[in-house]
Structure 1
Amino acid sequence: MEVIREELVAIKELYNDARRTEITANTSDINIEDLINQEDVVVTLSHQGYVKYQPLSDYEAQRRGGKGKSAARIKEEDFIDRLLVANTHDTILCFSSRGRLYWMKVYQLPEASRGARGRPIVNLLPLEPNERITAILPVREYEEGRHIFMATASGTVKKTALTEFSRPRSAGIIAVNLNEGDELIGVDLTDGTNEVMLFSALGKVVRFPESQVRSMGRTATGVRGINLNGDDRVISLIIPRGDGEILTVTENGYGKRTAVEEYPTKSRATQGVISIKVSERNGKVVGAVQVAPTDQIMMITDAGTLVRTRVSEVSVVGRNTQGVTLIRTTEDEHVVGLQRVAEPEEDDNILEGESLEGEEGSEEDTALNAPEDEDAADEAEDDDNNV
């Protein structure tokens, strides 16, 4: 110890000088976003509400006919409901069934591998009981001239400038005031020149220019988009983009494709025209989506059955028809939901009756396409003029 002491004293005498380091309080704020690397990622939200993101580089470009990669290995009773590409610095606008809007930065979502489900979005947002996320929209900049277009089950529509939602609040805000018993069923981004299509459960559709709805403030209730009869309700909002078809599905498993151009543009606040003939045979409409022949759809029944099929296997017919059988339901079973599948499964065999986990499925798990019945396929006289 004495030797060490002598060496330290010698070092002190040789190098001792005044302290040069200054210690001061840091007055600058560190923005966590500045520490996040900007990169494009794939954001997925499953039907049961699991959300995550993963690098876009995980998805390699493939030649035509490739099998693709599964975006998530999710449970058999779940599937990807929403898939979008965004930057880690983008904002995700999350709209709920109760008309509220919540904000999240993409980098605030859980990053997970392809084999992970992610986290329940209810654990990331202050949602109330029975409140669910209806739509998620990525926003990089709150541009002038862009709008958020919303539709409710009662037929109310509302258009609000995107800039109105540029100030995030942790508790969320009201995006649209809803009357008791009403709910927000659809949200989309528009540029002021789009057209709007509202589909009802009793087989009606109204198509009108977006310009017929003026832009209004956040707290406004909105205006009438479609006049509904009795207990009818709006089940789908579509902002048609480009060519394609509208695929409609009913609760008893019937469905059809109809070209977008066959839906005439009329005025809002009318009863519209027939989108599909509904009867006791095929039941009420449960969903309508815009599709391309290369897409796939997923149908969900109240018995928990998921049926996935290629859009190209669904017949293209006129508006005033009942459609064809897409899935054979049991006496007490009904289709309750329709979604365009955001990404193909890793193994196309699922389309032939295999479950989401790759195990052989039962007959009930297979989309059964029957030839179109003559009485349902023939075009009826189009007497569904605007009311």
Structure 2
Amino acid sequence: METKQDNIIAADYSEVMQKSYIDYAMSVIISRALPDVRDGLKPVQRRTLYDMYELGIRYDRPYRKCARIVGDTMGKYHPHGDSSIYEALVVMAQDFKKGKTLVDGHGNFGSIEGDGAAAMRYTEARLEKLTQEVFLADLDKDVVDFLPNFDETEKEPEVLPVRIPNLLVNGADGIAVGMATSIPPHNLGEVVDAVKAYMKNNEISVKGLMRYMKGPDFPTGGIIVNKDELLNIYETGTGKIRIRGRVQIEKQKNGRQLLVITEIPYTMLGANIGKFLNDVAALVETKKTTDILDISNQSSKEGIRIVLELKKDTDVENLTNMLYKKTRLEDTFGVNMLAVAEGRPETLSLKQVIEYHVDFLFEITTRKYTTLLAKEMDKKEIQEGLIKACDVIDLIIEILRGSKNREQVKKCLVEGVTKGIRFKSKASETAAGKLHFSEKQATAILEMRLYRLIGLEIEALEAEYKQTMDNIARYEDILNNYDSMAHVIMDDLDQIKKEYTVKRRTTIENAQEAVYEEKKMEEMQVCFLMDRFGYMKLVDMNVYERNKEAANSENKYIFTCMNTDKICLFTDGGRMHSIKVADIPLGRFRDKGTPADNLSNYESAKEQIIYVAPMEQIRNGSLMFVTAASMCKLVKGEEFDVAKRTIASTKLNPEDYLIFVGLADEMEQVVFQTREGYFLRFLKQEISSMKKTAVGVRGMKLTEGDAVEHAYLLEGHREYNITYKEKEYSLNKVKLAKRDTKGVKPRL
């Protein structure tokens, strides 16, 4: 008996992974994250709109539950999570995110301040009139190809026959694999004008197109302040647009002024409005400005209204510039006009987007009028047959009465076969033998009702035939003449513009860089206090002197520093966090203080502070680092004088951690104390001076399971006493030895 052998195929793992990942990446890029340049829609948006069209949820019909739409879309066309479908549906209904909403939402669809939409079981939706008439019209005229859905039980359109460049009108954003798209929304009327300009002259430049389409038109309004940079952005498809919120000044009866923000940058949508309010509050708390008395968010359905109450003598222009600089009242919108064009992702210029769309317009218009022409040709054939039949109606009635069945009549009308039919006269039979109708004409004659023989009905039939011939002539002219088709497309665009365009909301200008004069901080010496729980505060030097005894007993770290300096926190995890002294509240002696977690990236749950010092002291000295595994080194303090708030202060081996950091300039000797009670004293000069990225050298040989617990720095001629096993012990008594030796246990 033969045994069946397995067919094992050897494959290189890296090649399989590479191919699989590329396949996955392309699937995400083409089928999920990026819009198609033709209709400006991602697959989930396209499928949702088509499903609503199929369900008959038109703009002039009642709303339907979003849960029904989402479920139907997921079951028929989009086999992904219901949340992704519903989120796409919600965004298409939010007028503060889209240039033109595509879905008419009924219920809670979220707010401009970042509130989420209600659950899909509560909300309802239907198509907007624009979507139905501009995005989904003519689907029955074979204008686009239909593809099988995921399980080949339904057909879905490859692309929607959108008659405006939706990629520009509504913009797009999406993150794929290794690439992302970010296209701002534009004004519908301006986009239509740019398309028409291209159709009249396809040699037009991007600069020429921008005479019609000035730039982005964000639904949140605002002011674009780098007008001169827009040309390069639209030529390359990438760049950064700077947007500012719109600010107004209102005067109150008490003489105070209100700075009112009525429009926000598009990038401030959602949670960033709350962040902006917090940033303004932080400017007040940190004394960066003392001009703001109160801030309130009075936004409503009528629009954005964020009110800042100011002091009477406030320099409003300087304060506004500070808000532009320090908050998101001025922000950048990164443009990357990436879309799927001809089946592959491509970064497109403004002209390329319009060019692709115009080509698509000509394609769908050609297919539409080819379908219409074919229908009119069918109508013409039938109408000619009926008109011809009316002229010989008596003969046809005679054939009908003399025939035995329908097939016999049809054969006579089409081929002139009279065999088996009883005629009243030989002349009638001869005339019948000369009949030559087409199959379609014969069917139409057999289905014709008698009332069509009324004189007026015959006249109406002839009028219909004339109309059909006119339509055929017009359709053939459109299909055979580029100018005629272009004229039809432009008339259609004009109609869309007339009905759906709105006034531009975003102003475009060239504005100067926001410059504000920051009030110089009065330089003064302060006392820094930090307790063992990580709460820190600053007090005036006189306050410290009056409470010196209490301060020294209650706090772990105490030193004087300038209010213009930085405080450095070294942790056992080998990181250094820096905090500006100016950011630490200057308070009363009995104030609790502020946790280090609130003023830096320090996380008390993950790391412990082992050393704190002002940067001025560190910058001019050297620091000694000691780890539990006895690795040690000296590092120049200037290496820690960096702009970053958090850096790695040293390199640690796995499972190792810092147990000591300290200034070592005035010290001559080092003492290590281990968990098991070994002490080693050696000269500081035996420790190498290294970079902060080095691990260091071994300071002490440890027995298995032992670790360095304390390290001490000693001056040469000074007595150092510690409490060891509840007794006082002098470190100077430890025998002076060499680095990287075992050390000794003291005899008490």
Q: Normalising by structure 1, what TM-score?
A: 0.56
| 1:167-221 alpha-carbon deviations (Å, 9 max, x no partner) | 1302x11111112221111111122762211111111111122211121112111
Aligned to 1:48: 533
Aligned mates of 1:246, 1:272 — CA distance in 2 = 18
Aligned to 1:384: none
| 1:272-316 alpha-carbon deviations (Å, 9 max, x no partner) | 122x4xxxxxxxxxxxxxxxxxxxxxxxxxxxxxxxxxxxxxxxx
Higher strand share: 1
Kindly indicate whether residue 702 of structure 2 is the aligned counterpart of residue 228 of structure 1: yes
Kindly indicate whether residue 585 of structure 2 is the aligned counterpart of residue 100 of structure 1: no
Kindly indicate whether residue 680 of structure 2 is the aligned counterpart of residue 209 of structure 1: no
Higher helix share: 2
| 1:332-371 alpha-carbon deviations (Å, 9 max, x no partner) | xxxxxxxxxxxxxxxxxxxxxxxxxxxxxxxxxxxxxxxx
Kindly indicate whether residue 268 of structure 2 is the aligned counterpart of residue 268 of structure 1: no
- Farther-moved stretch of structure 1 (48-57 vs 261-270): 261-270
Query: Relative to structure 1, is the Cα distance of residues 138 and 68 closer, same or farther in structure 2, using a 3 angstrom cutoff?
Result: closer
SS at the partner of 2:680?
A: strand
Kindly indicate whether residue 591 of structure 2 is the aligned counterpart of residue 116 of structure 1: yes
In the alignment, residue 161 of structure 1 is paired with which amino acid?
Answer: K
Aligned to 1:195: 669
Instruction: Kindly tell me the number of residue pairs found equivalent between the two proteins.
Output: 238
| 1:25-61 alpha-carbon deviations (Å, 9 max, x no partner) | 68767567xx222222221211111111111111337
In the alignment, residue 149 of structure 1 is paired with which amino acid?
Answer: M
Query: Relative to structure 1, is the Cα distance of residues 127 and 143 closer, same or farther in structure 2, using a 3 angstrom cutoff?
Result: closer
Contact 2:626 2:658 in 1 (8 A): yes
From 629, 642, 660, give the equivalent of 1:186: 660
In the alignment, residue 71 of structure 1 is paired with which amino acid?
Answer: A
Aligned to 1:133: 609
SS at the partner of 2:732?
A: helix
Contact 2:625 2:660 in 1 (8 A): yes
SS at the partner of 2:629?
A: coil
Q: 5+ unaligned residues in a row in structure 2: which ranges?
A: 1-317, 319-510
Query: Relative to structure 1, is the Cα distance of residues 115 and 188 closer, same or farther in structure 2, using a 3 angstrom cutoff?
Result: same
| 1:121-178 alpha-carbon deviations (Å, 9 max, x no partner) | 112221244112111012326656x2111111111112111111121302x1111111
SS at the partner of 2:634?
A: strand
Aligned mates of 1:265, 1:236 — CA distance in 2 = 17
Over the matched positions of the two proteins, sequence identity in percent amounts to 24
Query: Relative to structure 1, is the Cα distance of residues 166 and 269 closer, same or farther in structure 2, using a 3 angstrom cutoff?
Result: same
Query: Relative to structure 1, is the Cα distance of residues 110 and 132 closer, same or farther in structure 2, using a 3 angstrom cutoff?
Result: farther
In the alignment, residue 578 of structure 2 is paired with which amino acid?
Answer: W
Aligned mates of 1:229, 1:192 — CA distance in 2 = 31
Aligned to 2:727: 256
Larger-Rg structure: 2
SS at the partner of 1:60?
A: helix
Query: Relative to structure 1, is the Cα distance of residues 173 and 124 closer, same or farther in structure 2, using a 3 angstrom cutoff?
Result: same
Contact 1:91 1:104 in 2 (8 A): yes
In the alignment, residue 209 of structure 1 is paired with which amino acid?
Answer: L
Kindly indicate whether residue 538 of structure 2 is the aligned counterpart of residue 58 of structure 1: no
Aligned to 1:163: 638
Contact 2:673 2:680 in 1 (8 A): yes
Query: Relative to structure 1, is the Cα distance of residues 192 and 48 closer, same or farther in structure 2, using a 3 angstrom cutoff?
Result: closer
Kindly indicate whether residue 551 of structure 2 is the aligned counterpart of residue 71 of structure 1: yes
In the alignment, residue 264 of structure 1 is paired with which amino acid?
Answer: K
Query: Relative to structure 1, is the Cα distance of residues 158 and 58 closer, same or farther in structure 2, using a 3 angstrom cutoff?
Result: same
After TM superposition, give the deviation of residue 89 of structure 1 in Å: 2.2
SS at the partner of 1:197?
A: strand
Kindly indicate whether residue 524 of structure 2 is the aligned counterpart of residue 39 of structure 1: yes
Aligned to 1:175: 649
In the alignment, residue 46 of structure 1 is paired with which amino acid?
Answer: D
From 143, 149, 164, give the equivalent of 2:624: 149
Q: 5+ unaligned residues in a row in structure 1: which ranges?
A: 1-22, 62-66, 74-78, 277-319, 322-387
Query: Relative to structure 1, is the Cα distance of residues 168 and 148 closer, same or farther in structure 2, using a 3 angstrom cutoff?
Result: farther
Aligned mates of 1:257, 1:173 — CA distance in 2 = 38
Contact 1:89 1:140 in 2 (8 A): no
Aligned mates of 1:184, 1:238 — CA distance in 2 = 14
| 1:67-106 alpha-carbon deviations (Å, 9 max, x no partner) | 9542299xxxxx4222222222232221011001111222
SS at the partner of 1:182?
A: coil
In the alignment, residue 120 of structure 1 is paired with which amino acid?
Answer: P
Aligned mates of 1:135, 1:141 — CA distance in 2 = 13
Aligned mates of 1:31, 1:142 — CA distance in 2 = 28
Relative contact order, higher structure (CA 8 A, sep 6+): 1
RMSD: 2.8
Q: Which runs of 4+ in 1 moved over 6 A?
A: 26-29
